[in-house]
Amino acid sequence: MDKIIIRGGRRLSGNVRVHGAKNAVLPIIAASILAEDGASTIHEVPGLDDVYAISEVIKALNVEITYDDQKEILLVNAQGLSAVEAPYEWVRKMRASFLVMGPLLARKGQAKIPLPGGCAIGSRGIDQHLKGFEAMGAKVEIGQGYIFASVAGRLKGTKIYLDLPSVGATENIMMAASMAEGMTVIENAAQEPEIVDLANYLNAMGARVRGAGTDTIRIEGVERMHGAVHSVIPDRIEAGTFMVAAAITRGDVTIENAIIDHLKPAVAKLREMGVEVEEVENGVRVCCENPLKTIDVKTLPHPGFPTDMQAQFMAMMLSVPGTSLITETVFENRFMHVDEFKRMGSVIKIEGRTSFVTGGTRLTGAKVKATDLRAGAALILAGLICEGETEITELHHIDRGYVRIVEKFKALGADIERHNTPVVQLVKDESESEAVVSSTEASLA
Ligand SMILES: CC(=O)N[C@H]1[C@@H](OP(=O)(O)OP(=O)(O)OC[C@H]2O[C@@H](n3ccc(=O)[nH]c3=O)[C@H](O)[C@@H]2O)O[C@H](CO)[C@@H](O)[C@@H]1O
Ligand SMILES: C=C(OP(=O)(O)O)C(=O)O
């Protein structure tokens, strides 16, 4: 079993550089299949498990894709796009694979995608995506675990009001509309920086998208799109995670490549606690020397406080004496880290969608598991201030969204290491009994 071991008590200092954003690169890779002419060159592509997963989905559509993990450059040539079915084994691993539906419908007039289903943090509906495609003239059928969408001729531009500003629905509809006939207007659109990054990429590919970053996006459809060169924006959630790491250890860390404008809600809340945050030439510096104050946080769609920073801020609250509150409004089940924090001795009470976090209590290292991606990051943060040793398992969640996280924390002075166990291989002998071939444990970091 892979695990991260942390011995708490070190103050972090130094510089760390954040990678390209997971939530920007996934729709950008999906959008690449819109290009009938030329190839795309995408820079600042993080070597994440999610990037590998969506690349496998694209490959199954007969798109050429190559990744240079040293240079972090991805080349996508979608001229040969021929298949329209996304493979179950990859969509099952990563919900964002559903983002190929919009581009497939626009370019091939049909798409067959396994239902992405719910996941640990909530039910995660796709009704707004489907509502958008139907409004544009697509016929959508659901059966045998698949969604099949098709349109005779081109999709038609129209006005679509989203019931909620869904990030994925805004992206999927934007991509579909880029090659639809006429003008599409998305109202109550999501406004996240990743939406703006996708719009910039689509425009570089020949699309005409205006208004991304506001709640109304206008897309005038074009007949053909081509490959483009693009650099993915820095990951604001990874940046926010390291900002909390600096604050929770009362350290002094410069997060290079972070864009402070993308981090406004997290910066505001850290400052409200008494943490010093300043914009520096190449990023953001966070230092913390004074006693901190409790805060209340409510997650909301951008520009509100991001749900993807909620667990990390709960870890932060554990370090501040008094009671802080977190209300989670975006996902209905995103407090699974609370039970893990409790193993460390924390005092947290959940009432409906609100957690009451009593900070300043003694925290001790424990065996805990990452229940989702950001919960995993939050456990590392809490481990940094626990007495003794914390052991975190279920690391596949963390690997979806953080590149070399252990090495980055180590470089800042954390006492942290990762132990990887080679996959235990089960083979069947002639009598059909299963035998364990390998289970040796190796230490990597
Ligand atoms: C790959 C990616 O970019 N993931 C991010 C994206 O996820 P994702 O795009 O899945 O998030 P959405 O904004 O779509 O979902 C937000 C809420 O809306 C609901 N909903 C959404 C669509 C729909 O058709 N119907 C519906 O009811 C969801 O169940 C959820 O409760 O935005 C989330 C909210 O900031 C982030 O936590 C994720 O990290
Ligand atoms: C919830 C997240 O991602 P995804 O939508 O890919 O599950 C996340 O990045 O925290």
CB-based pocket (< 6 A), ligand 2 = 23, 95-96, 308, 373-374, 401
Pocket of ligand 1, beta carbon within 6 A: 23, 26, 96, 122-129, 164, 166-169, 190, 194, 307-308, 330-331
pTM value is 0.95
Residue type, 332: E
Q: What is the CA(293)–ligand 1 centre distance, in A?
A: 31
Residue 330 annotated as part of some ligand binding site? yes
Residue 434: what pLDDT?
43
User: Which pLDDT tens digit goes with each residue over 76-118?
Assistant: 999 999 999 999 999 888 889 999 999 999 999 999 999 886 6
* Cα-to-centroid distance, 388 and ligand 2 (Å): 30
Q: How far is CA 266 from CA 98, 175, 271, 305, 309, in A?
A: 29, 29, 9, 7, 8
Give the ligand 2 atom nearest the CA of 23. 9
Measured CA distances, 249 to 17, 229, 292, 423 (Å) = 18, 40, 12, 34
User: Bridge partners of 226?
Assistant: 37
**Which residue's alpha carbon is at the smallest distance from atom 13 of ligand 1?**
166
Q: Name the residue of 22, 29, 167, 336 to mutate for ligand 2: max ligand atoms within 8 A of Cβ.
A: 22
Q: Which ligand is nearest to the CA of 167?
A: 1
Q: Which residue ranges in the chain fall short of pLDDT 70?
A: 117-118, 423-445
Domain layout of the chain by residue ranges: 3-14+290-427, 22-231
Ligand 1 atom index nearest CA of 26: 1
Ligand 1 centroid, distance to 320 Cα (angstroms): 30
Instruction: Name the amino acid, one letter, at 402.
Output: Y
pLDDT at 117: 64
Evaluate whether 30 touches 100 at the Cβ level (below 8 Å).
Answer: yes
Q: Which ligand 2 atom lies nearest to the CA of residue 121?
A: 1
pLDDT of res. 95: 87
Local structure of 100: helix, strand or coil: helix
* CATH architecture, range 22-231: Alpha-beta prism (3.65)
Q: What is the pLDDT of residue 122?
A: 82
- What integer pLDDT is reported at residue 427 of this predicted model? 55
Catalytic residue list contains 386: no
What is the pLDDT at residue 440?
A: 34
From 238, 308, 337, 396, the mutation candidate for ligand 2 (largest count of ligand atoms within 8 A of CB) is 308
Alpha-carbon torsion angle 322, 328, 332, 336, nearest 10: -40
Distance 331 CA to ligand 1 centre (A): 8
What distance in angstroms lies between residue 50's CA and the mean position of ligand 2's atoms? 10
pLDDT at position 121 is 86
22-231 and 3-14+290-427 share a CATH fold: yes
Phi, psi of 291 (to 5 degrees): -60, 145
Please give the CATH architecture assigned to the domain spanning 3-14+290-427: Alpha-beta prism (3.65)
DSSP SS3 for 253: strand
| pLDDT the model gives residue 241 | 98
